[in-house]
């Protein structure tokens, strides 16, 4: 998501400095990332091991701090932030997610620039949903404990920002009660609109799932679908195919064998992967925020089959090409209903998407929040 905003800020003529934690688990090639981002902003990526560790996790049971948050704090990274702020005058500071909130006090010590939190999800809601779905009593208790600590942290930190930008109206309604008098806004995630997207394929038996496979809500939902839904779907239609791609694919999924299922892991070119597939699968059950992959599917003229949680935050006017399903029976029915969606509806959804979710439009909305009193030409002429 942040890459799209960096592109948008560049198009608006903003000079941006981008500091980010490169979490070990994401296996980011820092040199490659720097090469890709250097045309959009001055970039500094900081490698950090944010993996869950047994001893710190245990010790946090006896502390009032959130272990979810503590894993993202580094004294070395805080020092780098302090040095950068001391050497430069910034007009605004944008924080990406509540996990960067531990650095808020450092930033406020060094600058009077407004500090804006862009919150992708209501994080405690994600964990609450996971706790409710957990069947193991011990795990359920532990996830509830993590949820409470995280919610307490959100309540403590949200009011300390100058403004909060949510990705969906749903999350704004959840979060504004915890943010005191801090102004709250909604700015959706911008989507890069393909210059030439493929036409809707007549073969609607080719489905795909595209998303980070190390993110628990994605992996949990996908495994549920493969075990509880796919065998029944393939029994009814032997021509169905499901193509699965995403970064950090676990070994057990790479080795998964089932008729019609193809697992690729990380792919070098998303456009090539999408070109011959018609239906985007979004079976997520415990996430929050907005599904950027669903919006990208609409931009690429795909039909979407999603749970209600997967479509959360997306206006109904964009969901005419989306079939909602929450159960195995619902997904089986959706496999038949995809044939009722024609190219005219697909084109209409893409046109609606461009009007509201283009990178330029969403970046401009965000810029007006970052610089509310600015008389800069890029704000005046848009």
- Long-range contacts (CB closer than 8 Å, 24 or more residues apart) made by 117-120: 117/158, 117/161, 117/163, 117/164, 117/165, 118/94, 118/165, 118/167, 118/187, 118/366, 119/164, 119/165, 119/166, 119/167, 119/171, 119/175, 120/1, 120/96, 120/167, 120/289
What's the rounded Cα separation, in Å, for the pair 33 and 22? Answer: 10
Q: What integer pLDDT is reported at residue 269 of this predicted model? A: 87
Predicted TM-score of the model (pTM): 0.80
Q: Quick one: pLDDT at residue 382?
A: 45
Angle at Cα 315 formed by Cα 314 and Cα 316, nearest 5°? 115
- Cβ of 204: how many Cβ atoms within 10 Å? 20
Could you give all domains of the chain from N- to C-terminal order, each with its CATH number?
2-190+359-380 (3.40.50.2000), 206-357 (3.40.50.2000)
| Paired tokens of 329 | 């029976």
d(CA 169, CA 187): 9
Give the pLDDT of residue 290.
Answer: 58
The reported pLDDT for the residue numbered 231 is 95
Q: Tokens 């010790």 identify what position?
A: 59
In this predicted structure, what is the pLDDT of residue 178? 85
Which pLDDT does position 168 carry in this prediction? Answer: 85
Residue 248: left if φ>0, alpha if ψ -120 to 50, beta else—which one?
left
Residues of the chain short of pLDDT 50, as ranges, are 378, 380-382
pLDDT at 380: 44
């Amino acid at each position: 998501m942040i890459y799209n905003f960096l592109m948008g800020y560049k198009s608006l003529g903003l000079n941006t400095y981008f500091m980010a934690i490169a979490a070990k688990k994401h296996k980011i090639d820092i040199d490659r990332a720097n090469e890709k981002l250097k045309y959009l902003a001055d970039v500094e990526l900081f490698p950090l091991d944010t993996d869950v560790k047994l001893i710190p996790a245990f010790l946090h049971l006896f502390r009032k701090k959130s272990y979810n948050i503590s894993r993202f704090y580094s004294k070395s990274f805080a020092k780098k932030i302090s040095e950068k702020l001391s050497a430069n005058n910034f007009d605004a500071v944008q924080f990406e997610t509540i996990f960067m909130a531990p650095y808020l006090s450092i930033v406020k010590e060094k600058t009077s620039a407004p500090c804006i939190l862009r919150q992708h999800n209501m994080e405690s809601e994600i964990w609450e949903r996971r706790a409710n779905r957990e069947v193991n009593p011990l795990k359920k208790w532990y996830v509830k404990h993590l949820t409470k600590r995280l919610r307490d942290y959100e309540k403590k930190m949200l009011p300390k920002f100058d403004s909060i930008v949510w990705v969906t109206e749903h999350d704004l309604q959840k979060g504004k009660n915890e943010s005191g008098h801090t102004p709250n806004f909604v700015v959706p995630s911008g989507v890069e609109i393909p210059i030439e997207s493929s036409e809707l394929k007549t073969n609607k038996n080719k489905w795909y799932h595209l998303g980070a496979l190390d993110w628990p809500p994605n992996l949990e939902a996908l495994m549920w679908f493969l075990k509880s839904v796919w065998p029944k779907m393939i029994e009814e239609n032997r021509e169905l195919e499901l193509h699965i791609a995403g970064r950090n694919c676990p070994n057990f999924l790479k080795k998964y064998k089932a008729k019609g299922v193809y697992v690729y892991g990380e792919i070098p070119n998303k456009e090539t992967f999408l070109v011959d597939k018609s239906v985007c699968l979004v079976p997520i059950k415990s996430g929050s925020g907005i599904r950027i992959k669903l919006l990208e599917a609409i931009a690429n003229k795909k039909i979407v089959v999603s749970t209600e949680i997967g479509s959360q935050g997306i206006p109904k006017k964009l969901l005419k090409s989306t079939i909602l399903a929450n159960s195995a029976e619902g997904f089986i029915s959706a496999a038949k209903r995809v044939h009722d969606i024609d190219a005219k509806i697909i084109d209409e959804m893409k046109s609606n998407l461009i009007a509201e979710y283009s990178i330029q439009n969403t970046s401009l909305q965000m810029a007006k929040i970052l610089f509310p009193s600015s008389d800069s030409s890029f704000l005046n002429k848009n």
